[in-house]
Chain A
């Protein structure tokens, strides 16, 4: 498990022990200051409680299906994390997800080679991200308004392409369906894909110079600008990245269901933002990790699964889910309060 660097430094040759302000903190204390650790603990506690209440919970089948259920949300959250860290966010990801699926699906139905159709679907997502990024980065339109507008535009594109009907692609190449429906070593390929995306993105966000700039921009945009960072250009790439990941989620949804619905991604943007925030991202930018977003998604998935396994009535389900989310974030904020005295 990758952790964020500890926020205080231990003994370094010769220099004084620890930061004056931080006083002498124990290892445990420092560990709990890492947001991801707290959420992980919440998840572990939940899992233990649920396993006791219902033994099916820990069965391999159930674990796999629970993770499978959050794959799309998690992939979109990876992109959303980058947008959030930069101090913005992207409300259009749900529509982009729907659009990429229906564009690729419609092209396949029209006889195009499926992989070419996939590339075009991703290219369309890219284009959406480029437009979004240009307006936010160069024209400096507020991300809320811009991505809300794009959400409408792209959703419209999805409707127009499909004339409102879901696109069914039975009979498409098995190689493509393998992505969404195949298994590798007993684990669905979708989960492998998610793992690769998360590991690579998390590593890059922590270490790649290009990615670190996102943190600088989100922390203090004017300082970033003054230190020579091309903020406008960076933002364009940020929103392209967010859109591509949403596009990937859309393509994978097409593969998993063999159906592309123009409303496949409806509401996905809010779920993704919630997962990222639970995982430690801040709406004001400069903070957040990909791993945290994954944990946030897993938390939501575990709770959703529990609600069904424990036979919670459908009318209570959204109430319960909402309470659990509030509790998770509150507990986390409280354990961090002393840091900001």
Chain B
């Protein structure tokens, strides 16, 4: 009996130790899987698209106070929630090249998991973007690109096409005939591109719609109201205005209202801040061009995340093979918002 007990005891002891060891292995395995290290980690995650709580992605902007970036950041935050990672919004408060470059450098020092950046000036931001990438930080560009840098992808609106879409809408709304004017801020690249898209599309598709003037609204309501008032005097038959910036849209609407021409002068504005949406609902602005800002943020973070977690294998070693890991250039598109669909946007 002693030897039988001894045998059972030994076997039990062995079984217990084996079980314990196996349990220990698997827990350490799963804990390995749930905490991913910084930088590109070797080895695949046990669960895909799951980040960690201290994995932080930064968004760097300029004129960081304006409402426009909020839409982008909202998309980024939505992706972050799904992925279980942290995001931080930052940027240069002024329209100041030095400020944004400095901010980038400060972020790089924090060794983030990735950066989404919109560049105030492509040339000035290229070196610091490259600096981040050299440090192993994935950088994704959105809205305002730095095309010569090593950023992995650019997500943004084709401003030229946005202008074209505006021209299409306005041209149809005027039944292909009439006088229109453009209010823009010359010298700002995005806006210049929108204006060019607008005027070339009008010329090509709606030859009986004349673009009689292009005026400088200085991105300011008061200035825009002044030039539009003067335009309405100069061209009493003006029937349409394209304002390629939000405040210019508001200013145009006011000037048209002051001249009692609401309705007879159709206004197409840009972007979706509340005043513009309210104005569409109220009828003083006819339509606005909404950019795919939410998508810029959402897919931008997705790109950064997948690069950071080394989930991309289009070829064996894309880094050395100089192959893009993610689609390098994504047009997030525009939507024309009018009274018919404005409520959907207002609810956000």
Contact = CB atoms under 8 A, between A and B. Distances in A.
A246 to B, nearest CB: 14
Given A164-B65, A166-B273, A188-B258, A305 B247 contact: no
Interface string B234-265: 10000000000011001100110111000000
B214 interface: yes
Number of chain B interface residues as a range: 35 or more
B217 to A, nearest CB: 10
A266 B230 contact: no
Interface in A158-197: 159, 163-168, 170, 181, 188
Contacts of B258: 65, 68, 181, 188
Q: Which of B222, B278, B282 has the most CB of A within 10 A?
A: B222
A263 interface: yes
A165 B254 CA distance: 18
Q: What 7 A-B pairs are tightest by C-beta distance, nearest first?
A: A165-B67, A69-B226, A308-B230, A168-B275, A65-B229, A164-B65, A314-B216
A92 interface: no
10 contacts: A61-B259, A69-B226, A163-B65, A166-B246, A253-B222, A256-B225, A259-B221, A308-B213, A308-B231, A311-B213
Given A65-B259, A68-B258, A159 B65 contact: yes
Contacts of B282: 170
B234 A309 contact: yes
A69 B220 contact: no
Given A263-B220, A314-B214, A308 B67 contact: no
A56 B279 CA distance: 30
Contacts of B232: 65
B313 interface: no
B216 A261 contact: no
B229 A68 contact: yes
Given A308-B234, A314-B214, A262 B225 contact: no
B274 A168 contact: yes
B227 interface: yes
Contacts of A309: 230, 233-234
B331 interface: no
A167 B229 CA distance: 23
Number of chain A interface residues as a range: 35 or more
Contacts of B64: 164
Given A56-B233, A62-B230, A166-B67, 6 more contacts: A68-B229, A159-B65, A168-B275, A266-B220, A267-B220, A309-B233
Interface string A36-71: 000000000000000000101001011001101100
Contacts of A168: 273-275, 277-279
Nearest to B221: A257
Contacts of B257: 181
A315 B93 CA distance: 28
Contact of A261 (B225, B230, B247, B255): B247
A46 to B, nearest CB: 15
B225 A69 contact: yes
A338 to B, nearest CB: 38
Contact of A256 (B214, B230, B254): B254
Contacts of B66: 164-165
